[in-house]
Chain A
Amino acid sequence: QKEVEQNSGPLSVPEGAIASLNCTYSDRGSQSFFWYRQYSGKSPELIMFIYSNGDKEDGRFTAQLNKASQYVSLLIRDSQPSDSATYLCAVPRGSQGNLIFGKGTKLSVKP
Protein backbone atom coordinates (compact mmCIF):
# COMPACT_ATOMS: atom_id res chain seq x y z
CA GLN A 1 0.00 0.00 0.00
CA LYS A 2 1.33 3.43 -0.92
CA GLU A 3 1.92 5.81 1.95
CA VAL A 4 -0.45 8.49 0.70
CA GLU A 5 -3.17 7.75 -1.81
CA GLN A 6 -5.44 10.06 -3.72
CA ASN A 7 -7.84 9.56 -6.57
CA SER A 8 -6.15 11.15 -9.57
CA GLY A 9 -9.44 12.38 -11.02
CA PRO A 10 -10.22 14.47 -12.87
CA LEU A 11 -12.97 15.56 -10.54
CA SER A 12 -15.36 17.84 -12.32
CA VAL A 13 -17.83 20.03 -10.43
CA PRO A 14 -20.03 22.93 -11.55
CA GLU A 15 -19.29 26.42 -10.36
CA GLY A 16 -20.82 27.09 -6.95
CA ALA A 17 -20.88 23.43 -5.92
CA ILE A 18 -18.91 21.76 -3.13
CA ALA A 19 -15.80 19.92 -4.25
CA SER A 20 -14.75 17.02 -2.04
CA LEU A 21 -11.20 15.72 -2.25
CA ASN A 22 -10.09 12.66 -0.35
CA CYS A 23 -6.79 11.22 0.82
CA THR A 24 -5.88 8.08 2.72
CA TYR A 25 -2.61 7.35 4.46
CA SER A 26 -0.96 4.19 5.66
CA ASP A 27 1.07 5.26 8.71
CA ARG A 28 -1.30 5.15 11.68
CA GLY A 29 1.20 7.21 13.69
CA SER A 30 0.96 10.24 11.40
CA GLN A 31 0.09 13.35 13.35
CA SER A 32 -0.14 16.15 10.81
CA PHE A 33 -1.58 16.49 7.35
CA PHE A 34 -1.21 19.08 4.65
CA TRP A 35 -3.14 20.14 1.59
CA TYR A 36 -1.35 21.90 -1.23
CA ARG A 37 -2.75 23.33 -4.45
CA GLN A 38 -0.70 23.23 -7.64
CA TYR A 39 -1.71 25.08 -10.76
CA SER A 40 -0.41 23.72 -14.04
CA GLY A 41 3.21 24.73 -14.56
CA LYS A 42 3.50 26.25 -11.09
CA SER A 43 4.88 25.08 -7.76
CA PRO A 44 2.67 23.85 -4.90
CA GLU A 45 1.04 26.34 -2.57
CA LEU A 46 0.08 25.45 1.01
CA ILE A 47 -3.66 25.73 1.57
CA MET A 48 -4.24 24.14 4.94
CA PHE A 49 -2.81 21.84 7.54
CA ILE A 50 -4.60 19.89 10.23
CA TYR A 51 -3.38 18.06 13.31
CA SER A 52 -6.50 17.17 15.28
CA ASN A 53 -9.42 14.92 14.53
CA GLY A 54 -12.44 16.76 13.25
CA ASP A 55 -12.86 19.76 11.01
CA LYS A 56 -10.76 22.83 10.43
CA GLU A 57 -12.22 25.68 8.44
CA ASP A 58 -10.45 28.50 6.62
CA GLY A 59 -12.65 30.58 4.37
CA ARG A 60 -14.15 28.37 1.68
CA PHE A 61 -11.87 25.48 2.63
CA THR A 62 -12.55 22.84 5.26
CA ALA A 63 -10.11 20.06 6.12
CA GLN A 64 -11.53 16.98 7.80
CA LEU A 65 -9.40 14.44 9.61
CA ASN A 66 -10.40 10.98 10.79
CA LYS A 67 -7.39 9.25 12.31
CA ALA A 68 -9.28 6.07 13.14
CA SER A 69 -10.13 5.57 9.47
CA GLN A 70 -6.85 7.09 8.30
CA TYR A 71 -8.30 9.56 5.90
CA VAL A 72 -8.19 13.29 5.46
CA SER A 73 -10.38 15.27 3.14
CA LEU A 74 -10.60 18.77 1.77
CA LEU A 75 -13.92 20.43 1.02
CA ILE A 76 -14.10 23.50 -1.16
CA ARG A 77 -17.38 25.37 -0.85
CA ASP A 78 -18.75 27.63 -3.57
CA SER A 79 -16.21 26.27 -6.05
CA GLN A 80 -14.87 28.76 -8.57
CA PRO A 81 -13.19 28.16 -11.93
CA SER A 82 -10.03 29.59 -10.34
CA ASP A 83 -10.03 26.60 -7.98
CA SER A 84 -9.26 24.36 -10.96
CA ALA A 85 -5.90 22.84 -10.10
CA THR A 86 -4.28 19.69 -8.77
CA TYR A 87 -4.67 19.22 -5.03
CA LEU A 88 -1.91 17.39 -3.21
CA CYS A 89 -2.23 15.68 0.13
CA ALA A 90 0.98 15.33 2.17
CA VAL A 91 2.06 13.61 5.36
CA PRO A 92 5.41 14.08 7.16
CA ARG A 93 7.77 11.16 7.49
CA GLY A 94 10.89 10.76 9.52
CA SER A 95 12.72 13.00 11.93
CA GLN A 96 13.29 15.74 9.37
CA GLY A 97 9.66 15.84 8.45
CA ASN A 98 10.05 15.04 4.78
CA LEU A 99 6.60 15.39 3.27
CA ILE A 100 5.28 12.37 1.44
CA PHE A 101 2.95 13.57 -1.28
CA GLY A 102 0.07 11.80 -2.87
CA LYS A 103 -0.10 11.92 -6.65
CA GLY A 104 -2.75 14.59 -6.46
CA THR A 105 -6.34 14.97 -7.55
CA LYS A 106 -7.04 17.16 -10.54
CA LEU A 107 -10.08 19.36 -9.96
CA SER A 108 -11.95 21.06 -12.76
CA VAL A 109 -14.63 23.63 -11.91
CA LYS A 110 -16.91 24.29 -14.88
CA PRO A 111 -18.47 27.76 -15.26
Chain B
Amino acid sequence: GAVVSQHPSWVICKSGTSVKIECRSLDFQATTMFWYRQFPKQSLMLMATSNEGSKATYEQGVEKDKFLINHASLTLSTLTVTSAHPEDSSFYICSARGLAGVSYEQYFGPGTRLTVT
Protein backbone atom coordinates (compact mmCIF):
# COMPACT_ATOMS: atom_id res chain seq x y z
CA GLY B 1 0.00 0.00 0.00
CA ALA B 2 0.83 3.73 -0.05
CA VAL B 3 2.32 3.86 -3.53
CA VAL B 4 3.02 7.20 -5.18
CA SER B 5 4.05 7.48 -8.80
CA GLN B 6 5.61 10.33 -10.72
CA HIS B 7 5.83 10.95 -14.41
CA PRO B 8 8.13 11.48 -16.15
CA SER B 9 11.05 9.99 -14.24
CA TRP B 10 13.44 12.20 -16.14
CA VAL B 11 13.11 15.01 -18.65
CA ILE B 12 15.47 17.17 -20.67
CA CYS B 13 14.12 20.44 -22.00
CA LYS B 14 15.43 23.58 -23.60
CA SER B 15 15.71 26.84 -21.74
CA GLY B 16 12.49 28.85 -21.95
CA THR B 17 10.14 25.91 -22.32
CA SER B 18 7.70 24.58 -19.73
CA VAL B 19 7.65 21.15 -18.18
CA LYS B 20 4.79 19.41 -16.39
CA ILE B 21 5.38 16.74 -13.76
CA GLU B 22 2.55 14.50 -12.54
CA CYS B 23 2.26 12.96 -9.11
CA ARG B 24 -0.32 10.25 -8.43
CA SER B 25 -1.29 8.33 -5.33
CA LEU B 26 -2.09 4.88 -6.70
CA ASP B 27 -3.76 3.05 -3.85
CA PHE B 28 -4.97 5.75 -1.48
CA GLN B 29 -6.60 9.15 -1.57
CA ALA B 30 -4.23 11.98 -0.73
CA THR B 31 -5.65 14.96 1.12
CA THR B 32 -2.37 16.74 0.87
CA MET B 33 0.51 16.51 -1.54
CA PHE B 34 3.90 18.10 -1.16
CA TRP B 35 6.47 19.12 -3.73
CA TYR B 36 10.19 19.08 -2.92
CA ARG B 37 13.33 19.93 -4.78
CA GLN B 38 16.74 18.46 -4.09
CA PHE B 39 20.04 19.64 -5.53
CA PRO B 40 23.01 17.26 -5.59
CA LYS B 41 24.39 16.45 -2.15
CA GLN B 42 21.87 18.75 -0.50
CA SER B 43 18.86 18.08 1.67
CA LEU B 44 15.24 18.09 0.60
CA MET B 45 13.73 21.52 0.22
CA LEU B 46 9.96 21.85 0.49
CA MET B 47 8.61 24.00 -2.31
CA ALA B 48 4.87 23.93 -1.73
CA THR B 49 1.97 22.15 -0.12
CA SER B 50 -1.20 21.47 -2.04
CA ASN B 51 -4.64 20.36 -0.96
CA GLU B 52 -7.23 19.02 -3.35
CA GLY B 53 -9.41 21.77 -4.74
CA SER B 54 -7.56 24.70 -3.19
CA LYS B 55 -4.58 26.88 -4.00
CA ALA B 56 -1.17 25.63 -3.09
CA THR B 57 0.80 27.15 -0.24
CA TYR B 58 4.30 28.05 -1.33
CA GLU B 59 7.36 28.22 0.87
CA GLN B 60 9.20 31.48 1.20
CA GLY B 61 11.41 32.17 -1.79
CA VAL B 62 9.56 29.87 -4.17
CA GLU B 63 7.99 31.74 -7.08
CA LYS B 64 4.38 30.63 -7.44
CA ASP B 65 4.12 32.03 -10.97
CA LYS B 66 7.09 29.96 -12.04
CA PHE B 67 6.15 26.72 -10.28
CA LEU B 68 2.46 26.17 -10.97
CA ILE B 69 0.79 23.53 -8.85
CA ASN B 70 -2.61 22.01 -9.53
CA HIS B 71 -4.18 19.47 -7.20
CA ALA B 72 -7.20 18.55 -9.29
CA SER B 73 -8.26 15.39 -7.49
CA LEU B 74 -7.51 13.32 -4.43
CA THR B 75 -5.08 11.23 -6.45
CA LEU B 76 -3.37 13.69 -8.76
CA SER B 77 -1.22 16.78 -8.36
CA THR B 78 0.85 18.42 -11.09
CA LEU B 79 3.84 20.74 -10.96
CA THR B 80 4.56 22.85 -14.03
CA VAL B 81 7.93 24.54 -14.26
CA THR B 82 7.32 27.50 -16.54
CA SER B 83 10.00 29.14 -18.66
CA ALA B 84 12.60 26.76 -17.30
CA HIS B 85 16.21 27.83 -17.01
CA PRO B 86 19.38 25.81 -16.34
CA GLU B 87 19.29 26.78 -12.67
CA ASP B 88 15.96 24.94 -12.40
CA SER B 89 17.73 21.68 -13.17
CA SER B 90 17.15 19.54 -10.11
CA PHE B 91 15.53 16.43 -8.68
CA TYR B 92 11.83 17.14 -8.07
CA ILE B 93 10.04 14.82 -5.68
CA CYS B 94 6.42 14.74 -4.64
CA SER B 95 4.94 13.13 -1.58
CA ALA B 96 1.42 12.41 -0.47
CA ARG B 97 -0.39 12.07 2.80
CA GLY B 98 -3.57 10.05 3.14
CA LEU B 99 -6.99 10.74 4.53
CA ALA B 100 -6.91 8.46 7.56
CA GLY B 101 -6.80 9.96 11.04
CA VAL B 102 -4.18 12.47 11.98
CA SER B 103 -1.26 10.48 10.70
CA TYR B 104 1.46 12.67 9.31
CA GLU B 105 3.55 10.14 7.44
CA GLN B 106 4.26 11.06 3.85
CA TYR B 107 4.94 8.66 1.04
CA PHE B 108 7.28 9.79 -1.66
CA GLY B 109 7.15 9.33 -5.38
CA PRO B 110 10.29 8.15 -7.16
CA GLY B 111 11.20 11.66 -8.27
CA THR B 112 11.69 13.44 -11.58
CA ARG B 113 15.12 14.50 -12.70
CA LEU B 114 14.88 17.70 -14.72
CA THR B 115 17.72 18.93 -16.88
CA VAL B 116 17.37 22.27 -18.61
CA THR B 117 19.83 22.88 -21.43
The residues of A with any CB-CB pair to B shorter than 8 Å are 32, 34, 36, 41-46, 49, 88, 92, 96-99, 101-104
Q: Which chain B residue has the least Cβ–Cβ distance from A106?
A: B41
| Seed contacts A43-B110, A101-B43; 6 additional CB < 8 Å A-B pairs | A43-B93, A44-B44, A44-B108, A92-B104, A99-B106, A103-B43
Q: How far is the CA of A35 from the CA of B91 in the complex (A)?
A: 20
The 17 listed contacts between A and B (C-beta, < 8 Å) are: A34-B104, A36-B108, A41-B91, A42-B110, A44-B44, A45-B108, A46-B105, A46-B107, A46-B108, A49-B105, A88-B43, A97-B32, A97-B104, A99-B34, A99-B106, A101-B43, A102-B43
Within 8 Å CB of A99, what residues of B?
34, 46, 104, 106
Beta-carbon nearest neighbor of A92 in chain B: B104
B107:A98 contact, CB within 8 angstroms: no
CB closest residue in chain A, given B4 = A43
Q: Digit string of B29-56 for contact with A (CB within 8 Å is 1, else 0)? A: 0001010000000011010010100000
How many angstroms from the CA of A36 to the CA of B43 in the assembled complex? Answer: 12
> How many angstroms between the C-alpha atoms of A107 and B62 in the bound complex?
31
- A contact residues around B109 at 8 Å (CB): 43
Q: Does B57 contact A (CB under 8 A)?
A: yes
Residue from the set A43, A99, A103 with the largest chain B CB neighbour count within 10 Å? A43
Nearest A residue to B50, CB-CB: A96
> Please, what's the 1-or-0 string for B70-95, where 1 marks a CB less than 8 Å from any CB in chain A?
00000000000000000000010100
- Tell me, rounded to whole Å, the shortest Cβ–Cβ distance linking A57 to chain B: 18
Report Cα–Cα, A17/B34, bound state, in Å: 36
B44 touches A32 (CB 8 A): no
Q: Report chain A residues within 8 Å CB of B32.
A: 96-97
